[in-house]
Chains A and B, each alone.
Chain A
Amino acid sequence: MRVDVIMPQMGESIAEGTLTRWLKKSGDKVARDEPIFEISTDKVDAEIPSPAAGTLAEIKVQEGQTVPINTVVAQIETEAGAVAAAGKTAPPARAEATPAPAPARQAAATSTSPGDGKERSARPAPAPPSPVYAAPPAGAWNVPKAAALIGTGATVEDLRRVRSSPVVRKIAQEHNIDISRIPGTGVSGRVTKNDILKTIERGGLERGATATAPGASRAPAPVFAPGERVTVVPMSAMRRKIAEHMVMSRRTSAHVTTVFEVDMSRVMKLRAEHQQAFPERHGVKLTPTPFMVKAAVEALKAFPDLNAAIDGDTIVFKKDINIGIAVALDWGLIVPVVKHADDLSLSGIAKTVTDLAERARSKRLTPDEVQGGTFTITNPGSFGSLFGTPIINQPQVAILGVGAIQKRVVVVDDAIAIRPMVYLALSFDQRLIDGAVADQFVAHIQATLQEGKFTEIV
Chain B
Amino acid sequence: MALTTYVEAIKQGIWEEMERDERVFILGEDVGVYGGAFKVTEGMLDRFGEMRVIDTPISESAIVGAAIGAALMGMRPIAEMQFIDFISCAFDQITNFAAKNRYRWGAGVPMVIRGPSGGGVHGGPYHSQNPEMYFVHTPGLKVVAPATAYDAKGLIKAAIRDEDPVIYLEHKYLYRRIKEEIPKEDYIVPIGQAAVRREGRDLTILTYGAMLYQALEAAETLAREQGIQTEVVDLRSLLPLDKDAILKAAKKTGKVLVVHEDTRTGGIAGEIAAIINEEVFEYLDGPVLRVTAPDTPVPYSPPLEDFFLPNKEKILKAARQLAAY
A166–B325 touching, CB < 8 Å: no
B182 on interface, CB distance cutoff 8 Å: no
- Residues of B within 8 Å of A167, CB to CB, are 254, 282-285
Say yes or no for B192: interface residue by CB 8 A criterion: no
Contact B324 A99 (CB under 8 A): no
B324 touches A187 (CB 8 A): yes
- Report the minimum CB–CB distance from B243 to chain A (whole Å): 11
Complex Cα spacing A192 to B325, Å: 7
Q: Is B49 an interface residue (CB 8 A)?
A: no
Chain B residues contacting A183 (CB-CB under 8 Å) are none
> Which single residue of chain B is at the shortest CB-CB distance from A164?
B285
CB-defined contacts of B251 to chain A, threshold 8 Å:
99
Task: Scan A178-195; emit 1 where CB is below 8 A from any B CB, else 0.
Answer: 000000001100101100
CB neighbors of A among B64-87 (8 A) = none
Known A99-B251, A193-B254: A166·B283 in contact at CB below 8 Å: yes
Nearest A residue to B284 via CB reads A166
Say yes or no for A24: interface residue by CB 8 A criterion.
Answer: no
**Chain B residues whose CB sits within 8 angstroms of the CB of A168 once the complex forms:** 285
Chain B stretch 263-285: residues in CB contact (< 8 A) with chain A: 281-285
A-B residue pairs in contact (CB < 8 Å), sample of 26? A99-B251, A99-B282, A99-B283, A142-B287, A165-B254, A165-B284, A165-B285, A165-B286, A166-B281, A166-B282, A166-B283, A166-B284, A166-B285, A167-B254, A167-B282, A167-B284, A167-B285, A168-B285, A170-B282, A186-B324, A186-B325, A187-B324, A187-B325, A190-B325, A192-B285, A193-B254
Q: Mark B251-263 against chain A: 1 for CB-CB distance below 8 A, else 0.
A: 1001000000000
A residues 157-172 near B (Cβ < 8 Å) are 165-168, 170
Closest chain-A Cβ to B317's Cβ sits at a distance in Å of 14
Interface residues of B in 281-325 (CB under 8 A from A): 281-287, 321, 324-325
Smallest CB-CB A-B distances: 7 pairs:
A193-B285, A142-B287, A165-B285, A166-B282, A167-B285, A170-B282, A166-B284
- When distances are taken between beta carbons in the complex, the residues of chain B under 8 Å from A192 are 285, 325
What 1/0 flags go to B179-212 for Cβ under 8 Å of A? 0000000000000000000000000000000000
- List the B residue with the shortest CB-CB distance to A142: B287
Question: How distant is the Cα of A193 from the Cα of B283 in the complex, in angstroms?
Answer: 9
CA of A99 to CA of B251, assembled, Å:
8
Cα-based distance from A192 to B286 in the complex (angstroms) = 9
Q: How far is the CA of A167 from the CA of B287 in the complex (A)?
A: 12
Other 18 A-B pairs with CB < 8 A, given A167-B284, A192-B285 = A99-B251, A142-B287, A165-B284, A165-B285, A166-B281, A166-B282, A166-B284, A166-B285, A167-B254, A167-B285, A168-B285, A170-B282, A186-B324, A187-B324, A187-B325, A190-B325, A192-B325, A193-B285
User: A51 vs B240: C-alpha distance in the bound complex, in angstroms?
Assistant: 34
Residues of B within 8 A of A170 (CB): 282
User: What separation, in Å, do the CA atoms of A170 and B286 have in the docked complex?
Assistant: 14
Q: List, in ascending order, chain A residues with CB within 8 A of B287's CB.
A: 142
Inter-chain CA distance A168–B321, complex, in Å, is 18
A168 CA / B283 CA spacing, docked (Å)? 8
Bound: A170/B280 CA distance, A: 12
**Which residues 170-225 in A have Cβ within 8 Å of B in the complex?**
170, 186-187, 190, 192-193
Chain A residues with CB under 8 Å of B325's CB are: 165, 186-187, 190, 192
- The smallest C-beta distance from A201 to any residue of chain B, in angstroms, reads 15
What's the Cα separation between A142 and B276 when bound, in Å? 15
A142 to B256, CA, bound (A): 14
- The smallest C-beta distance from A190 to any residue of chain B, in angstroms, reads 7
* Alpha-carbon gap, A165 to B282, bound state (A): 8
Contacts of B324 in A (CB 8 A): 186-187
What's the Cα separation between A168 and B254 when bound, in Å?
A: 10
Residue in chain B with minimal CB distance to A160: B325
Residues of B within 8 A of A142 (CB): 287
Q: Which residue of A lies closest to B324 (CB)?
A: A187
In the complex, residue of chain A having the shortest beta-carbon distance to the beta carbon of B322? A187
Inter-chain contacts of A193 with B (CB < 8 A): 254, 285
Residues of A within 8 A of B321 (CB): 187
* Set of chain B residues within 8 Å of A166, measured between Cβ atoms: 281-285
Which residue on chain B has the smallest CB distance to residue A185? Answer: B324
Chain A nearest CB: distance from B309 CB in Å? 27
Shortest Cβ distance from B211 into chain A, in angstroms?
24
Contacts of B283 in A (CB 8 A): 99, 166-167
Closest B residue, CB atoms, query A191: B285
